[in-house]
Chains A and B, each alone.
Chain A
Amino acid sequence: MIKQAGVGMPSRGFPRASALVIAIAAAAALALLSGMAGGLVRIGWPLLPERLVSPVALHSALMVCGFFGFGISLERAAALKKPVAFAAPALAACGTVSALALQPALAGGFWLAAALALVVVYAEMLRRTPALYTAVEGAGALAWAGGTLWWLLDRPFSAVVAWWASFLVLTIAGERRELARFVPLSGRARQGYLVVLGVQALALLVLAVPWREHPIAGGFWWASMSLLAAWLLRYDLACRPGMLRLAWSLHTARSLRLGYTWMLLAGAWGALNALRGMPLDSPGPLHMLLLGFVFSMVFGHAPIVLPALLRRPVSAPGPFAFVPVAMMTLGVALRALGDASGSTGVRAGAGALQALAIVAFALTMIRHLRR
């Protein structure tokens, strides 16, 4: 039997101290729970009294900067093995605390600093090993910084959200391109990857130009999502036929394939919306991208990344391990139905199911990570 990563000798990179691990988990959980609460209040669930509505306004910022920005910069800091690199997740956590203390401008400042610190981390990684995939992930960090800056400058939310979503998408695109080194890629496949990301980068740059709306760039931005998803469905390691996948690696492959499918559909829906003159940030395709694609990536990668980060082995998945992914899939489908039909009840039900899926997944991971 092949041994999975996770058992360890004395640590050489990531801090193991349980107090620190608890602090890190608390920072991530705080951002995730407050971001989720904000999202649920927005779709009609009376979870918070009026004086505590800041998470509603900051829902997107908490999810992208507070949760994902924190998690991604923590992972990179652990890989770089330099204590100073942990400044990025620490600043992101400070941003979350500031947001929850009703200081959005301060939160934005911290998150911008965190994003720039992550850019510096990638620059150091590129200096050590120049590689396309690191550059793509670094471009993702720049998109995080750009989106946060547009948010601080009170620019149209469509520009903010496009840059923030590209932070997550480019990070994942870089990670998957890195793994694609292990399988043969034709010259056409390599060029296709660059063209797709080039389209997305160009659309982002146009969207950043102030003073007017950019519906065509918005359409191209969405189209680049579909094209990237098509590339991943065709060339990604998780989609490659004939490979032996068991236990969590099967779970990962299934989750990733679902995620790519959601991104394909979200991109098509967003591009279609752009043709009909609807804004880039209309909720249907946006939530399909962020909850369907991004959370499928989270659900797929967590059983691999968490044992490595926490230095704890993960026990084999039981028959219910895939249930949270199935719940999220159903939630995304229902949410699309609710968004498309304008049904508040369906949206609220779908949102609750998605929140439950995230909590169920967190509990599944806690149960499988052995002490």
Chain B
Amino acid sequence: MDTNDTFDADRRRALDALAQVSDPEIGESIVDLGLVERLHITPSAIDLTLVLTSPTCPMGDAIADDAWQALQEAFPGREISVSEAEGVEWDPSRLSDSARERLGWNDEA
């Protein structure tokens, strides 16, 4: 396995772990909701930046905590950091195709 393969495998594993974390208000994973803004992976650390959807709800902190926990379990021994993306606003174009389907965006067409 070369370096690129390792990188791709790590990224897939990280996204799989994050796909297990949901926004409980909506019942969709943070990956499908498009909350993952940046995922930087090195052999010793993972740095995740999330777009949080609500300025008025404290749920964002809990979601960030869950994301940190999920990455910690998937990559024991690596330093994990989770932060909030500054100045990035969530909009429906960030939804995955499958989430768009489930949430009815394709019914409109």
Could you tell me if A182 and B65 are in contact, using CB atoms closer than 8 angstroms? no
Q: Mark B61-100, 1 if CB is under 8 A from A, else 0.
A: 1111110111010000000001000000110100100000
Interface residues in A303-342 by Cβ distance below 8 A to B read 304-305, 307-309, 311
Query: Could you give, for residues 234-257 of chain A, a 1 whenever the CB lies within 8 Å of some chain B CB and a 0 otherwise?
Result: 000100101111001100000000
> Interface size on A (CB < 8 Å)?
49
A78 part of interface (Cβ distance < 8 Å): yes
User: Is A84 an interface residue, CB under 8 A from the partner?
Assistant: no
Contacts of B104 in A (CB 8 A): 183-184, 240, 242
Complex-state Cα separation, A282 to B72, whole angstroms: 56
A selection of 21 A-B contacts at a CB cut-off of 8 Å is A1-B20, A3-B66, A5-B21, A5-B22, A5-B63, A5-B65, A7-B66, A8-B66, A9-B82, A78-B58, A79-B56, A79-B58, A129-B89, A178-B57, A181-B90, A183-B105, A184-B92, A237-B25, A242-B102, A304-B24, A308-B24
Interface residues of B (CB under 8 A from A): 20-29, 33, 53-66, 68-70, 72, 82, 89-90, 92, 95, 102-105, 107-108
| Residues 1 to 53 of chain A near chain B (Cβ within 8 Å) | 1-9, 11-14
Contact count A vs B, C-beta below 8 Å? 130
| Cβ–Cβ contact B62 & A6, under 8 A | yes
Q: A2–B69 contact, CB under 8 A?
A: no
Taking a contact as CB atoms under 8 Å apart, the answer to whether B26 and A5 are in contact is no
- Complexed CA–CA distance, A304 and B60 (Å): 12
Name 11 extra pairs, CB < 8 A, besides A129-B89, A184-B104.
A5-B63, A13-B61, A78-B61, A79-B58, A125-B55, A175-B56, A178-B57, A179-B26, A182-B103, A305-B59, A307-B24
Chain A residue numbers with a CB within 8 Å of B61 are 11-14, 78, 81, 308
| Given A8-B65, A182-B103, A240-B104, also A75-B57 (CB < 8 A) | yes
Which A residues have a C-beta under 8 Å from some C-beta of B? Answer: 1-9, 11-14, 75-76, 78-81, 122, 125, 128-129, 131, 133-134, 137, 174-175, 178-179, 181-184, 237, 240, 242-245, 248-249, 304-305, 307-309, 311
**Residue in contact with B55 in the complex, picked from A8, A79, A181, A249, CB distance below 8 Å:** A79
